[in-house]
Amino acid sequence: MWVLDASAVLAFLHGELGADAVSEALVDVSVVSAANWAEILSKFSDEGEDPDTIAGRLESEGVLFSGLEVLPVTAVDARMIARLRPLARSGGLSLGDRACLALALRLGYGVLTADRQWANLDLGLEIIMIR
């Protein structure tokens, strides 16, 4: 099981470099934080797409809910997100990045990301760069 960062899901959905690694992770159910899901849908909105249409398309194609499960941000995640705040200053991690990492830490799953800045993180997680 993997937690997918928004950058990894977007690479997959846009057919970018690294999409194959995400595709392999989706063979089994992988998860994404609701915060990252909002980030993904927001990117499509920026591109002029309707978030409801995109979510519906992904559900009908079997990506969402069969290969990718959206999990809520919990109170436990919120505390971890706050604990990871110093990394935002030193490592450039956004709130969405920290939400992804908090979910992975809570579940004990590895993370797939396209964000190179995560390569040097030492959180006791397996972090795989998809490109």
Per-residue model confidence (pLDDT) at position 16: 96
Q: Where are the beta strands (DSSP E) in the chain?
A: 2-4, 30-33, 68-71, 110-113, 127-129
Per-residue model confidence (pLDDT) at position 65: 66
Query: What are the pLDDT digits (tens) for 41-74?
Result: 999 999 999 999 988 888 887 777 678 899 999 9
Domains and CATH numbers, the chain: 2-129 (3.40.50.1010)
Look over the chain and give the mean of its residue pLDDT values, rounded to a whole number: 92
Phi, psi of 27 (to 5 degrees): -60, -45
Query: What are the pLDDT digits (tens) for 90-112?
Result: 778 999 999 999 999 999 999 99
Could you tell me the two tokens for 37?
């899901």
- Judged by DSSP in three states, 57 sits in helix
